[in-house]
Structure 1
């Protein structure tokens, strides 16, 4: 399609004009949309496309991502795109199409250099409040003891940067998660890929709801300057220090003061982060040992 034939975003219909459409009609709009919002599809298999001036469809989404986003919207004041509809995919249980609101704004990594110092402080303070709200989110099954991992009716395999390139679990107990990381440390030490004296996995803190990818490109500032959090695909209940360990590097890449900012947002857990760094070899190269 040539540039002259591409419909501008502003001239797209609103959700109020689209909500009567069938699932198939919405998917046709998704497949034909020229408005792809992800910058580099060569490194990300997820597609997010505008179908309306205030609406996008994201694909694929796992059920636990949909559940997490809805859970956060109903239990916190954190701004996250509202889900309008979910449409099952055709090739498996974990590939839903999710119709959600489009946030008019920019990601924090692109807008940060242009922000005034006071505005940067307000963003960090808002993120700090958001993380504290997340840590108060109730477990989805009030009558059960929390288990580690994504939201679901039963334990689900854990994914994310702290687990390496492969899934871990599922774990029915916190102790199971701790044992997994203890084994990774043992592998790294035996293969001489970690120092011989590393502090053990810290299981002293409670399992709390964790975004687990709270890096600047998953934080948005809308046109009114409000702070939004997007992409809940690897979120779940994890030890309290996981948030900092997963986000610190992304903030350090954005700013020379990024490490300080990450600590201000999620707390100081550098020793626990060093534990993850110590077992990196076992998480990747030695994942099946």
Structure 2
């Protein structure tokens, strides 16, 4: 959280009015999280957002925000550089409210969600986002930053992935022993399961899975491979490894295949 950042939003009122940093200590983390959802937005792109909560205070949050950003900013300020003051750093609802002995319950529940989704085939449904996207490319961690497809069927999708594997082999950007893609069952896949997308209902202790923007009907293993990429902060890494260890079907082969074509999905996206 930083102060004295100006914007061009005019005289729009702010939730904490003219409160300065001296008043911040009386505001709870829960209250700040609610303000993060309702306060006037200064900046919002991808997974990072900044909102103004008073005349001289802003609140920054998002999936890519780490404690190191705040520590680096505080260190730069201590060295005399002109950077906004960091007043407070805290985690979001799930991480902030989970006691250590409850984390295993969360991991167990998430692993069950994945096992359940991976065990129910939808082979008669066209792959991709449910309902289709018309001519628009599909979004997700395994479709490049520009999207891919849409693919008319599983065979067409399989050909695209094997082409990416061929590109990586030709440019020596993948191990030669990575097997070719042979997709079989299609299943419901979220593709962004991480602590930031799990909400704990404090009244019932029930967990809710949110943010289905990249979900769809995709081959078995896409979920596990997507989970294996989650590494925003220490809790994400701990969560990822704990969930993978509890899965009934880890899909190591599929994880290795998809990770193995990363060059073709990034630098070689247009090859």
Which of 96, 116, 126 is the equivalent residue of 2:100? 116
**Aligned mates of 2:16, 2:165 — CA distance in 1:** 57
Change in 2 beyond 3 A, CA 1:164/1:34: same
Equivalences for residues 135-284 of structure 1 within 5 A: 135=118, 145-152=124-131, 157-204=137-184, 206-224=185-203, 225-250=205-230, 253-254=234-235, 255-256=237-238, 258-265=240-247, 267-284=249-266
* 265-274 or 254-263, which deviates more: 254-263
**Aligned mates of 2:124, 2:50 — CA distance in 1:** 35
Aligned position for 1:69: none
Question: In the TM superposition, what whole-angstrom CA distance separates every residue of 1:177-231 from its partner, at most 9, and x where no partner exists?
Answer: 1111000000011111112221112413x10111111122111212232211110
**Aligned mates of 2:216, 2:44 — CA distance in 1:** 25
**Aligned mates of 1:231, 1:263 — CA distance in 2:** 24
Matching of residue 34 in structure 1 with residue 39 in structure 2:
yes
**Aligned mates of 2:139, 2:46 — CA distance in 1:** 17
Change in 2 beyond 3 A, CA 1:258/1:4: closer
Aligned position for 1:131: 114
**Aligned mates of 1:226, 1:242 — CA distance in 2:** 26
**Aligned mates of 2:192, 2:105 — CA distance in 1:** 20
Aligned with 1:163: secondary structure?
coil
Aligned residues: 204
Change in 2 beyond 3 A, CA 1:277/1:151: same
- The two structures have a TM-score, normalised by structure 2, of 0.62
1:148, 1:171 within 8 Å by CA — same for their partners in 2? yes
**Aligned mates of 1:247, 1:127 — CA distance in 2:** 11
**Aligned mates of 2:156, 2:147 — CA distance in 1:** 14
Change in 2 beyond 3 A, CA 1:158/1:286: same
**Aligned mates of 1:176, 1:191 — CA distance in 2:** 23
Aligned with 1:197: secondary structure?
coil
CA RMSD, 1 decimal: 3.8
- Shift of residue 241, structure 1, vs aligned partner: 0.8
- Shift of residue 258, structure 1, vs aligned partner: 3.4
Higher-Rg member (1/2): 2
